[in-house]
């Protein structure tokens, strides 16, 4: 059975919503990209509704860090230190939003969603 992002078939009261149509391809849930720390950068493209494309980052090696003074610099990621969402992601070195990663500038928290974006040669694709 396909995983759908459509509304639940149950009401908050426990009653049923009756289906007025079937599932659409655009409502299917995708698999998580699970962005890993690796020395090279890989991404994959997905075709979405309207013949558009989405990019998903599969591996990453550097991160933009902004300090308290507002200065931003690009620094390499050494490893993943903590992740409040799932401790298993730390063991597998997977970067998600909210993860704490170790860099040369110290520990930083990821505020972007790496599975939703991909940049090539410093430009957003």
- Output the pTM of the full model: 0.75
Q: What are phi and psi of 60, to 5 degrees?
A: -145, 150
> Could you give the C-alpha distances from 17 to 8, 21, 29, 124, in angstroms and in order?
8, 11, 20, 41
pLDDT tens for each residue of 29-73:
888 889 999 998 888 888 888 888 888 889 999 999 998 899 999
Give the CATH fold of the 34-119 domain: 3.10.290
Q: Are the C-beta atoms of 102 and 121 separated by less than 8 Å?
A: no
Average confidence (pLDDT) over 83-111: 94
Rounded Cα distance, 84 and 100, in Å: 9
Sign of the alpha-carbon torsion through 101, 60, 36, 34? positive
Q: What is the pLDDT of residue 14?
A: 95
Q: The tokens 């969603």 sit on which residue?
A: 113
Q: The tokens 């599932």 sit on which residue?
A: 23
Return the domain boundaries, the chain.
34-119
Q: Which residues contact 47 (CB under 8 A, 6 or more apart)?
A: 53
């Amino acid at each position: 059975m396909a995983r759908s992002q459509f509304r639940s078939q149950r009401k908050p009261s426990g009653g049923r919503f009756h289906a007025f149509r079937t599932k659409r391809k655009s409502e299917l849930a995708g698999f998580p990209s699970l962005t890993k720390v690796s020395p090279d950068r890989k991404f994959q493209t997905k075709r979405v509704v309207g013949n558009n494309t989405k990019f998903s980052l599969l591996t990453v090696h550097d991160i933009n860090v902004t300090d308290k003074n507002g200065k931003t610099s690009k620094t390499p990621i050494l490893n993943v230190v903590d992740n409040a969402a799932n401790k298993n992601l730390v063991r597998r070195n997977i970067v998600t939003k909210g993860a704490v990663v170790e860099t040369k500038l110290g520990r930083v928290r990821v505020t972007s969603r790496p599975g939703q974006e991909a940049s090539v040669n410093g430009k957003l694709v």
